[in-house]
């Protein structure tokens, strides 16, 4: 009975949500587009000519917003490269290279490398969230694992001067996640956009400038080998 009431309350709030209405009006697949829009407008993240990777991109509202920011090329198309990865299927977005699969697997990474063609990303986005079990410790571990994956991906595929934007939750191992970000990025900022529901503990972390990019590590190894 309580669950039904909760579902009805959520449905009522969702239908009357101004961002849901705006998303329907402006053609976005989800209200989440406005979270990225607000963060981007404040932080100047998305610029023409960039290589942008969207982890966990389904249903595609972040990709839609990104495409609109990169649009404007003569004869259609975009200024830049957009790549989306997700284990779930996604309806196509014009000019986005969508790769379905787990980005930890070699064949998926091979497809990614083919699109990157030797380039590194300027920006990695992650709106990924775990399937919740309702057990706080387990959910915190799952959230932390997703952040670890995003950081590891960035170490391999992000420019040293690039940025990583991830979603996390204040009540899911946030202190440990924040420390990891501070260990890996030169500047770290916490952002709570207005489009993020007040009741939600959702918050976004923006890390800029990798302290330990993978290329730097391999260079150090090569140098030490030469010294020997």
For the annotated catalytic residues, the residue numbers are: 167
CB 118 within 8 A of CB 156: no
d(CA 53, CA 122): 8
Longest dimension (CA), the chain: 72
CA atoms within 13 A on the CB side of 190: 12
The verdict on whether residue 183 carries a ligand-binding annotation is no
Report CA Rg, the chain.
19
Tokens of 177: 């996640």
The verdict on whether residue 86 carries a ligand-binding annotation is yes
Q: Where does residue 92 fall: left (phi above 0), alpha (psi -120 to 50 degrees), or beta otherwise?
A: beta
The verdict on whether residue 60 carries a ligand-binding annotation is yes
Distance of CA 167 to the CA centre of its chain: 7
The verdict on whether residue 127 carries a ligand-binding annotation is yes
Distance of CA 160 to the CA centre of its chain: 17
SS3 16: coil
Question: Annotated binding site for S-adenosyl-L-methionine: which residue ranges?
Answer: 60, 62, 86, 102, 127
């Amino acid at each position: 009975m309580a669950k039904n009431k909760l579902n009805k309350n959520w449905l009522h709030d969702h239908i009357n949500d101004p961002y849901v209405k705006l998303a329907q009006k402006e053609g976005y697949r989800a209200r989440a587009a406005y979270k990225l829009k607000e963060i981007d407008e404040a932080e100047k993240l998305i610029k023409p000519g960039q290589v942008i990777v969207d982890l966990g991109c389904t249903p595609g509202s972040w990709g839609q917003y990104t495409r609109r920011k990169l649009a404007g090329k003569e004869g259609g198309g975009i200024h830049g490269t957009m790549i989306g990865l997700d284990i779930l299927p996604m309806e196509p977005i014009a000019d986005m290279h969508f790769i379905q699969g787990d980005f930890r697997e070699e064949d998926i990474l091979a497809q990614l490398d083919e699109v990157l063609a030797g380039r590194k990303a300027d920006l990695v986005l992650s709106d990924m969230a775990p399937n919740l079990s309702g057990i706080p410790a387990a959910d915190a571990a799952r959230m932390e694992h997703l952040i670890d994956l995003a950081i590891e991906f960035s170490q391999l595929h992000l420019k040293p001067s690039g940025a990583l934007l991830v979603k996390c939750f204040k009540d899911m191992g946030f202190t440990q996640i924040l420390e990891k970000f501070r260990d890996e990025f030169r500047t770290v900022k916490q952002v709570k956009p207005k489009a993020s529901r007040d009741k939600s503990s959702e918050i976004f972390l923006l890390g800029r400038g990798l302290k330990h990019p993978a290329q730097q590590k391999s260079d150090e190894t090569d140098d030490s080998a030469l010294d020997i």
